[in-house]
Amino acid sequence: MRVARSAMVLTMLFIGFLIQSAWLSLLNFPVVIPPLVVVVAAAFCLRREPLNAALIGFSAGIILDFFPPSTTPLGVSSVSLVLIFFFVNQVRPLIEGSLILPVVAVALVPSAYLFLNTLTRILLSQQTLSITELLADFVMLSLYGLILATFVLPVTQWLDRLFAPRNAISVSRIR
Amino acid sequence: MRRRQFTPSPLVGLLALLLTSLLLIAADGIVKLGILQNLRAQSVNVVTPFQELTFSVTSPIADFLTDISELGSKNEQIQRLENENSRLREKLLSIEDIQRRLSDMSSLLDISARGEFRILGARTLSIGSEAGYGSSIVIDAGSLDGIKPSMVVISGAGVVGRIVTVSPTSSVVMLLCDVKSQVGARLESSGEVGVISGYGLNQPLEYRLLNPKGELTKGTKLLTYGVENGVFNPGLPIGYIESVRNIPGTSSKVARVRAYVDFTKLDYVGVIVKRPRSDPRDSLLPTLAPTPTVTITVTATPSPTPSKSGGN
C-alpha cells in the first residue's frame, strides 16, 4: 500500500504537471501560470512525515525541471521544494485541526518556491532580478495558490484516505 | 526475531535530498552531462502525447474561459469595428451623394449647352407644400442673384416648374406636378398642342390635346410649347405618354404622362435667366440608350454512353 500511495502521489503530480503545462499555460492568466504542481505537492506534504514531505518536494522539482517546456537545470526546483516542504512539515502540528490554516500554508508555498527558485537561479547566473516583476509574481502566485488550494486540498485528503496503509486505518479504528 | 527497519533521521534525509539536487544541478547545469541531456531530450517524446491528449480534452474549456476573459476586450473590438463601419458607411454615402450631384450638374450643363440658354444654378432647400402652392420647392437663389417671378426652372432631365415667389436669397418654384400647374405642351412627332396638368407630387401628369380628334400614342414624348412672351421656353422636355384613355361620353382622349424629372428627388436645378434666340425643337429630348438583346444559344452536348463491351 505504501508503494501504491507513492505511485498515486507521483501520478497526481504528473497529472498536475500535464494540466499546468497543456491547459493552464494556454489560458492567458495574468502575470504567471497558476502553480498547480507545487500546490498539489504541498497539499500532499501536509499529510506526510518530514522526510516523505521532502521526497515529495524532490519529485515535484524533478518533474518541473525535467519535462518540457522547462529549460531549468535539473535539481534547481528540487532544492527549493525540498527545503520548503521540509519546513512546512515542521510547522504541521501548528496548523493541524484548523480548516483555514492548511489552505493558507499551501497557498503560500508557491510564493516561497518562487523566492527560493529565483535565488538559486541568480546564484547559477540564470536569471536577473526585477523587483517589480518579482512582487507582481508573489501577489499573483499567492492568489492563485489560495484558489487552487481550496480545491486541491479536499481532493488530496480524499485520495490519501483512499490509499492509506491498512495498519493506519486499523490503528485509527482502535483509537 | 523482529527485523529492524532502517529509518533515516529526517535531517539526514533532507541533507541527502539537497545533496542529490545539487549534484543534479552540477551535472545538468554546469557539467552538462551527456546522459542527462539525452534523457531530457527524450522526455519530449514521452510527455508530448500526454500533453496533446490533455490539450485536446481541455481546449474546449480553455477556449470558453479565454472567451469569457476576453469578453470585455472583444466588446471593445466590436464597438471599434462598428464605429469604423458607420464611419465608412457615411463616407460611402457622401461619395455616392457627390457622384449624384456631379451627375445632376453635368446633365444640367449639358441641357443648357444644347438649348443655348443661360442658366443660374441653384440647390433645392426643401420639397413639399410651401406658401400654399401645393407641390413646390424652395431654391437657394433669389432676387439678389437675378431671379424673377415666372422664370423657368429645369433640371438635367427636363422641366421642373416656374418661379412663383422671389425673396432676396431664395425662391419658391411651383412644380409641374402641382394641381394648379397648367403648361402648354406639344407632341414630339405630330406637333399637336395640348395642356399638361399636375395632380400632385407623386402622381403622373395628365395631357389633353386641344384638338379632340388628335391622336395620342403610348411612348410619345412631350415638350413645352412656348409662345413669344410666354412663361415657358419652347422645346423643353416634359415626359412621355405612359397610357391613354378615353373621356367617357366624348370622343376626346387623355394621356397619362410620366415626367422625366423625379420631383421628389430634386437637388441641383437651373433657373433659365436668358432664353435662347431660337427654338431648340426636339434636340433637348433625352435619347434612350439601346437596350442590349440577350441571345442564349443552347447547344446539345452528346452525353458519354458507356459501350456494353467496355472497350474503346
The per-residue pLDDT for B6 is 59
- Max Cα distance, chain A (Å): 56
Q: Say what percent of chain B tops pLDDT 70.
A: 81
Kindly list the residues from chain A whose CB atom is less than 8 angstroms away from the CB atom of residue B54: 18-19, 22-23
Model pLDDT, residue B7: 64
Calpha distance B245→B257 (Å, rounded):
12
Q: Chain B residue with minimal CA distance to A60?
A: B21
Q: B53: Cβ–Cβ under 8 A, 6 or more apart, which residues?
A: none
CB contact under 8 A, B55 and A78: no
- Nearest residue in A to B8, CA atom: A51
Sign, CA torsion B230/B231/B235/B239: negative
Pick from A27, A58, A83: CB nearest B66: A27
Give A-chain residues touching B8 at CB under 8 angstroms. 51
Three-state DSSP at B173 gives: strand
Q: Model's pTM, two decimal places?
A: 0.49
Helix A36-45 / helix A50-66 crossing angle, nearest 10 deg: 170
| CB-based contact, A27 to chain B, within 8 Å | yes
Residue A74 burial by CB count (10 A; 0-12/13-18/19+): exposed, middle or buried? buried
Q: Across the interface, do B17 and A58 touch by the CB < 8 Å criterion?
A: yes
Q: What is the ipTM of this complex?
A: 0.83
What is the separation of C-alpha A57 from the centre of its chain, rounded to a whole number of angstroms? 7
Span A1-42, pLDDT tens digits: 578 888 999 999 999 988 887 777 777 777 788 889 999 999
Looking at residue B159, its amino acid is V
Query: B85 to chain A nearest CA, in Å?
Result: 30
Q: Which of residues 84-103 of A touch B (CB under 8 A)?
A: 86
For chains A and B, what is the number of CB pairs under 8 angstroms?
105
Q: Which of B284, B207, B279, B280 is nearest to B247 (CA)?
A: B207
Cβ neighbours for B66, distance < 8 A, ≥ 6 positions apart: A26, A27, A28
Angstroms from A28 CA to nearest CA on chain B: 7
3-state SS string over A90-138? HCHHHHCCCCCHHHHHHHHHHHHHHHHHHHHHHHCCCCCCCHHHHHHHH
For an interface test with B, the pick among A25, A66, A91 (most B C-beta atoms closer than 10 Å) comes out as A66
Q: What does the alpha-carbon distance between residue A28 and residue A55 come to, in Å, rounded to a whole number?
A: 32
Contact B21, A61 (CB under 8 A): yes
Q: With 80 as the cut, is the pLDDT of residue B120 above it?
A: yes
In this structure, are residues B289 and B129 in contact, taking their beta carbons and an 8 Å threshold?
no
Inter-chain CB proximity A75 and B24 less than 8 Å: yes
Say if residue A69 is preceded by a cis peptide, omega within 30 of 0.
yes
Best of A11, A15, A67 to disrupt the B interface by mutation (most B CBs within 10 Å)? A67
Q: Residue A76: is its pLDDT beyond 50?
A: yes
Set of cell numbers at residue A37: 504542481
Written as one letter, the residue type at B27 is A
A174 touches chain B (CB under 8 A): no
Q: Virtual CA dihedral for B118, B120, B123, B127, nearest 10 degrees? A: -70
Any B CB within 8 A of A51 CB: yes
Name chain B contacts of A21, Cβ cutoff 8 Å.
51
| Lowest mean pLDDT across A17-31, A111-125, A142-156, B254-268 | A17-31
In whole angstroms, what is the distance from residue B312 CA to residue B308 CA?
10
Which distant-in-sequence residues (6+ apart) come within 8 Å of B131 by Cβ? B164, B165, B172
Chain A nearest-CA residue for B42:
A67
Cβ within 8 Å, pair B8-A78: no
Strand partners for B124: B139
Query: How far out from the chain centre does Cα B53 lie?
Result: 53
* Cross-chain residue pair A75–B25, CB shorter than 8 Å: yes
Q: How many CB atoms lie within 10 A of CB B14?
A: 24
Closest residue in B to A25 (Cα–Cα): B62
Residue of A nearest to B9 (CA): A51
Please indicate whether, in this complex, the C-beta atoms of B48 and A68 are within 8 angstroms of each other.
yes
B29:A27 CB<8 A: no
**Phi, psi of B215, deg, nearest 5:** -95, 135
Mean pLDDT score of chain B, rounded to an integer? Answer: 79
Pick the more confident residue, A105 or B71.
A105
Burial class for B32, CB neighbours closer than 10 Å (0-12, 13-18, 19+): exposed
Listed residue (B25, B3, B21) closest to B13, CA to CA: B21
For residue B67, the distance in angstroms to the closest alpha carbon of chain A comes to 10
Cβ within 8 Å, pair B43-A73: no
Q: Is A19 on the interface with B (CB under 8 A)?
A: yes
The better pLDDT of the pair B252, B244 is held by B244
Contact B157, B114 (CB under 8 A): no
pLDDT single digits (tens) B151-194 = 999 988 889 999 988 888 888 888 888 878 888 999 887 888 89
Poorest-pLDDT segment among A159-173, B84-98, B241-255: A159-173
List the alpha helices (DSSP H) in chain B.
10-25, 34-69, 71-115
What is the structure's pLDDT at A43? 92
Question: By three-state DSSP, how is residue B248 classified?
Answer: coil
One-letter amino acid of A156:
T
CA distance A174 to chain B (A): 23
**How far apart are alpha carbons A17 and B312 in whole angstroms?**
66
- A2 contacts on B by Cβ (under 8 Å): none
